[in-house]
Amino acid sequence: MKPRNQRERECVRLSDKLPYLTEAQEAYAFEHCFEHQAAPRSKKHHTFYCLDCGAEFTDDSSRKTAICPNCHHKLTKDGVRHKRADKQTFQVIATTGGYQVVRTYYVKKVTQQGKPCKLEINECIRRFMKPGLKDIVIALSRVAMHYYDDLFDYDSEMSIKTENIYYRSYDIWATIVYPRQSVLPMLKRNGYSDWLKKNTQFSTTFHRLMENSQYETIAKAGRYDLWKNLKWDFIKDHWPQVKMVMRHNYYPEDYEVWVDTVSMADRLGYDTHSPKYICPDNLHRLHDQLVRKQNERNREDEIALHKKDEKKFLRTHKQWLGICIVADNITIKPLQNYAEFYDEGKIMHHCVETYFGRSGSLILSAKQGDKRLATIELSTKDFHIVQCRSKCNEKPKQYDQICGIINDNISLFKHPNQRHKSIYTPSLI
């Protein structure tokens, strides 16, 4: 695409003046982008081929590595004999004309036993960045629209490309980055360090340090754990809490649990400006307390939401709600309201609460003392047992016993107005 404005014309002009890779940069890319390997020629005679220089050598040691006597590379003995092509990404960080430039190369290595490897390096993308301005991408043409990154036409000329802001197809994470980097003075002032150089994606890091004061503060404080483990949405919404963590020199033992704890404390209306909830001595204990509070609130909200359905439920199921069967130390009775449906579903880890008010269905709960054994669905049309489930929808151990008790007392459900309670004692033979 042709440049459409002054900035794009400026970037094209600066791009044409960028220098080629130096011999040192190419050597570094070839040395560090690929693993150096040796392919076995004869296991009987312990001979190997160096897949870098193609030399043949003998090594009868039991070690997994060997030193090539020709090129002196340290080789691993797990190379393959057939011809193989490997491709990696390599980046060079540079500056020109007040722009921060990320130059991306694809490095290709073709190996075959007995022959020197063939190396090739091609520059594919140049990203020009400036504070407060949209990135300008100059890249080779793609062969096809695909989710792979390496489908470039290496015979095409570099030109300006339009990049989707959601799918940044030209923003590629490099395998290896050349250690000698040239960065804008602004980035050094805003906290660009060796850790960021080794552990982050450059285009994202540069934008954060150029445009975001929160990330600048985190970088200057040296809290790279926060940089690595916290997402931007959380930092933006809970910046006072993040500052409190840095001020109190607090390091959460589990960042996912800590983020969840802070978010829950905020939703529940606790004082999130207090170190008690932001820098707790026992993070997991506080998290468990807030989870219980959150569950109680969710339960209250769910019960209130279904309050209007209680009248209909009582009108259609009232005739069976007084039934209670006690036998063999097992108590079986219908669930009385939505609160009992909700508690049954949470304790038994199934979805019985969605059966509340369902026509043609009566839900029973079987208990042994305080222990819940099973949840039973009984059809109100022909009064057969539709299903009997224990925790996590598994078949209960007392399945036959529970079903037998219900079937022996099925007249209570068929004629609920005659009798409301039955104590069933099986006959002894």
Which tens digits make up the pLDDT trace of 162-176? 876 656 778 888 889
Over the chain, what is the mean pLDDT? Answer: 88
User: What's residue 166's pLDDT?
Assistant: 58
pLDDT at 100: 95
What pLDDT does residue 428 have? 32
Lowest mean pLDDT among 141-150, 181-190, 322-331, 408-417: 141-150
Tell me which long-range contacts 412-415 makes (C-beta under 8 A, separation of at least 24): 412/323, 412/325, 413/320, 413/323, 413/362, 413/378, 413/380, 413/383, 414/383
- Tell whether the model's pLDDT for residue 214 goes beyond 70: yes
108-117, 122-131, 159-168: least confidently modelled range? 159-168
Look up the CATH number of domain 309-423.
3.40.630
Reply yes or no on whether the pLDDT at 422 is more than 60.
no
Residues 283-294 have a mean pLDDT of 94
Instruction: Give the pLDDT confidence score for residue 2 in this predicted structure.
Output: 84
- The mean pLDDT value for 359-375 works out to 91
Mean pLDDT of 327-356: 90
Categorize the per-residue pLDDT at 84 as very low, low, confident or very high, splitting at 50, 70 and 90: confident
Under the banding of pLDDT at 50, 70 and 90, the label for residue 62 is confident
Q: What is the pLDDT of residue 427?
A: 36
Checking if the pLDDT of 421 tops 80, the result is: no
State the average pLDDT over residues 360-377.
Answer: 92
pLDDT at 186: 93
- Contacts by 356-364 with C-beta closer than 8 Å and gap 24+? 356/306, 356/309, 356/313, 357/309, 357/312, 357/313, 357/316, 359/316, 361/386, 362/317, 362/320, 362/334, 362/413, 363/334, 363/335, 364/332, 364/333, 364/334, 364/335, 364/406
What pLDDT shows up at residue 174? 85
pLDDT over 70, % of the chain: 94
User: What per-residue confidence (pLDDT) applies to 150?
Assistant: 63
β-pair partners for 375: 365, 389
Instruction: Give the pairing of strands 159-161 and 176-177.
Output: unpaired
Domain boundaries, the chain: 6-37+79-177, 185-300, 309-423
What pLDDT score was predicted for residue 220?
Answer: 94
- The yes-or-no verdict on residue 145 having pLDDT over 90 is no
